[in-house]
């Protein structure tokens, strides 16, 4: 008798699927989705008959699309590029010209898509909406009108999910009218990062940390996502977004949730999301004069060799919105519950800063009584980029006779070095989760709306203030107020350790 495969192996067996990427010729597809899918294919995680069907308004043939992907994507997957796999991967690609219009008759492309998909309801069908959010509702309605939404269909929604609570609700209502919540995958690619998943393992698969993961032992937490790039050519988008909507509402709040959440009862789709939701609901609201004290908004001005936001090359000149939009924000947040009472969570994100880094820093309290001079408190640093890993900074004695001299040294875990494998891109993990029907690392409707509920009053206060954001020179460490936000309680932002 053949031994039956283990549950893990069964889960790993890929099903044949059709992945329909709406916006399949766009930047996100070319830079992220297709390289991720190639790596999945190379690792044997795409079933033999799985197809990737790109939709756009461009009149491309299948071969045109393959030529474009060959020219634009192959260079992005140099490690381990296998010509045989590459040929197999290209053969999976199809292109169907479809115009998703707001109203009116269905574009003829939907008929072609229906013919390509066939009537096979047993096959997994995934609609990945890599397109602007105002197209989500119309896309779902038209897919249904075209008879393409089957019980085995899922839909993936890219960020941004609206620009405030009202618009997020509208998108959720429109998509929810066609797909059940269990079929909707709202992606936040930060949740697919190795370090982020390792944060859960670190907290809940090790006994030593959880007893000290609270306000008795932790002084504060910092979550920073800093970028060196500006927004050349993207002002049209960025004027309407800004750092708070673009980064904090989704990525930074999701990271905060994973740091602050209670241990879930199980590692399953609802338990983790239930706990994250409780954190979002426990965030102390910030509005009015508190927004002045606890939030900072900045906009980069000219810096060494770099233009200011308003002078970035673009198709159109700056508008009123350009003068008001923040390219930097810092916030002092609080999670009002038993575990975290009094522990500030400092959030920071911005463009044209000195380094490109995403990290969570958990700063422990100092020893209650020091017998050595010159110590500093322990610090746990979870690095999401550029090189994913975890460092626990402890105090050690410098070698040598004579006086004891203390030095903070990192006990480090680099995933790439320790495990000797390529660290997969977050999109690989998340795409495979969608294919496997596992929504644990995707945001549920109530989470997204709870995040907007916290963000909206901050936005409203900023809007009503009528003052421009604080300028900071491009390439500098952000506006002075961001440093005062911590400085007034004797704290400072964690900056990159010198190499
Ligand atoms: N780029 C990123 O790194 C990134 C990261 C996270 C989230 N996102 C979000 O993902 C979405 C797409 O971003 P992107 O940078 O890939 O944009 P993009 O480069 O402008 O691509 C948009 C894609 O959508 C297609 N499209 C647009 N309107 C359409 C319509 N009415 N009917 C059919 N196809 C249509 C475009 O093709 P045609 O114009 O040929 O029709 C193109 O394939 C945006 O909402 C963005 O905010 C992007």
Ligand 1 contact via 99 beta carbon (within 6 Å): yes
What is the C-alpha to C-alpha distance for residues 137 and 362, in angstroms, rounded to an integer? 40
Reported as a single tens digit per residue, the pLDDT across 91-139 is 999 999 999 987 678 889 999 999 999 877 788 999 999 999 999 999 9
Nearest residue CA, atom 46 of ligand 1?
Answer: 132
Ligand 1 contact via 57 beta carbon (within 6 Å): yes
Ligand 1 contact via 25 beta carbon (within 6 Å): yes
Question: In 187-317, which ranges are E strands?
Answer: 218-226, 295-301
Q: Which CATH code fits 17-158?
A: 3.40.50.720
Q: Report the residue among 56, 113, 168 best suited for mutation to probe ligand 1: largest number of ligand atoms under 8 A from its CB.
A: 56
Reported as a single tens digit per residue, the pLDDT across 159-204 is 999 999 999 999 999 999 999 999 999 999 999 998 899 999 999 9
Nearest residue CA, atom 6 of ligand 1?
Answer: 159
Banded pLDDT at 386 (limits 50, 70, 90):
confident
Binding residues: 57, 99-100, 159, 189, 193, 227, 246, 351
Cβ-Cβ contacts under 8 Å for 52 (sequence gap 6 or more): 19, 21, 24, 34, 37, 92, 93, 94
Reported as a single tens digit per residue, the pLDDT across 405-458 is 999 999 988 888 888 878 889 999 999 999 999 999 999 999 999 999 999 999
Ligand 1 contact via 107 beta carbon (within 6 Å): no
In the predicted model, is pLDDT for residue 277 greater than 70? yes
Taking the centre of ligand 1 as the mean of its atom positions, its distance from the CA of residue 353, in whole angstroms, is 27
In the predicted model, is pLDDT for residue 499 greater than 60? no
Nearest residue CA, atom 18 of ligand 1?
Answer: 26
Catalytic positions, written as ranges: 251
Reported as a single tens digit per residue, the pLDDT across 307-353 is 999 999 998 899 999 999 999 999 999 999 999 999 999 999 999 99
Question: In 319-388, which ranges are E strands?
Answer: 328-334, 344-350, 357-364, 379-385
Ligand 1 contact via 132 beta carbon (within 6 Å): yes
Question: Which numbered atom of ligand 1 lies nearest the CA of 30?
Answer: 16
pTM flag (> 0.95)? no
Taking the centre of ligand 1 as the mean of its atom positions, its distance from the CA of residue 133, in whole angstroms, is 10
Domain boundaries, the chain: 17-158, 191-426+445-487
Ligand 1 contact via 403 beta carbon (within 6 Å): no
Superfamily per CATH, domain 191-426+445-487: Dihydrodipicolinate Reductase; domain 2 (3.30.360.10)
User: By the 8 A CB rule, do 383 and 374 touch?
Assistant: no
Do the domains 17-158 and 191-426+445-487 sit in the same CATH topology, yes or no?
A: no
User: By the 8 A CB rule, do 328 and 298 touch?
Assistant: yes
Residue 226: beta bridge partners?
A: 350, 357
What is the model's pLDDT at position 10? 40
């Amino acid at each position: 008798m053949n031994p039956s495969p283990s549950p893990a192996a069964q889960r790993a067996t890929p099903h044949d699927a059709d992945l329909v990427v709406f916006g399949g010729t766009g930047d996100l597809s070319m830079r992220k989705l297709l390289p991720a899918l190639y790596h999945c294919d190379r690792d044997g995680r795409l079933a033999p008959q799985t197809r990737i069907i790109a939709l756009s308004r461009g009149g491309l043939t299948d071969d045109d699309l393959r030529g474009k992907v060959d020219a634009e994507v192959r260079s992005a997957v140099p490690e381990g590029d296998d010509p045989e796999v590459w040929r197999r991967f290209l053969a999976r690609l199809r292109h169907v010209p479809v115009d998703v219009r707001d109203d009116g008759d269905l574009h003829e492309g939907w008929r072609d898509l229906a013919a390509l998909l066939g009537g096979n309801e047993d096959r997994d069908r995934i609609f990945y909406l890599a397109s602007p959010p105002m197209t989500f509702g119309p896309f779902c309605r038209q897919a249904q009108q075209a008879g393409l939404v089957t019980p085995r269909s899922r839909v993936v929604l890219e960020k941004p999910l609206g620009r405030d609570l009202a618009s997020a609700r509208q998108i959720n209502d429109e998509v929810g009218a066609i797909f059940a919540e269990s079929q909707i995958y709202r992606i936040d690619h930060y949740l697919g990062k190795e370090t982020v998943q390792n944060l859960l393992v670190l907290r809940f698969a090790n006994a030593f940390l959880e007893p000290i993961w609270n306000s008795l032992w932790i002084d504060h937490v910092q979550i920073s996502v800093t970028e060196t790039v500006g927004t050349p050519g993207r002002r049209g988008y960025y004027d309407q977004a800004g750092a708070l909507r673009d980064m904090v509402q989704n990525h930074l709040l999701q990271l905060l949730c994973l740091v602050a959440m209670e241990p879930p009862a199980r590692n399953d789709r609802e338990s983790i999301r239930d706990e994250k939701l409780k954190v979002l609901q426990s965030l102390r609201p910030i509005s009015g004069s508190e927004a002045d004290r606890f939030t900072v908004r900045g906009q980069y001005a000219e810096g060494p060799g770099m233009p200011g936001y308003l002078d970035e090359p673009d198709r159109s000149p700056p508008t009123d919105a350009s003068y008001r939009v923040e390219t930097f924000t810092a916030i002092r947040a609080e999670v009002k519950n038993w575990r975290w009472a009094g522990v500030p969570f400092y959030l920071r994100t911005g463009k044209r800063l000195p380094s490109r880094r995403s990290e969570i820093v958990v700063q422990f309290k100092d020893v209650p009584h020091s017998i050595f001079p010159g110590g500093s408190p322990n610090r746990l640093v979870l690095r999401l980029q550029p090189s994913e890993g975890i460092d626990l900074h402890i105090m050690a004695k410098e070698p040598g006779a004579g006086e004891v001299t203390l030095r903070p040294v990192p006990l480090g875990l680099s995933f790439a070095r320790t495990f000797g494998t390529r660290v997969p891109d977050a999109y690989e993990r998340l795409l495979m989760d969608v294919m496997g029907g596992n929504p644990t690392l995707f945001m549920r409707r109530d989470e997204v709306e709870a995040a907007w509920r916290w963000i909206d009053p901050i936005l409203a206060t900023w809007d009503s203030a009528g003052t421009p954001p604080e300028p900071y020179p491009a390439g500098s460490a952000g506006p002075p107020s961001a440093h005062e936000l911590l400085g007034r309680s004797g704290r400072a932002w964690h900056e990159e350790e010198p190499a």
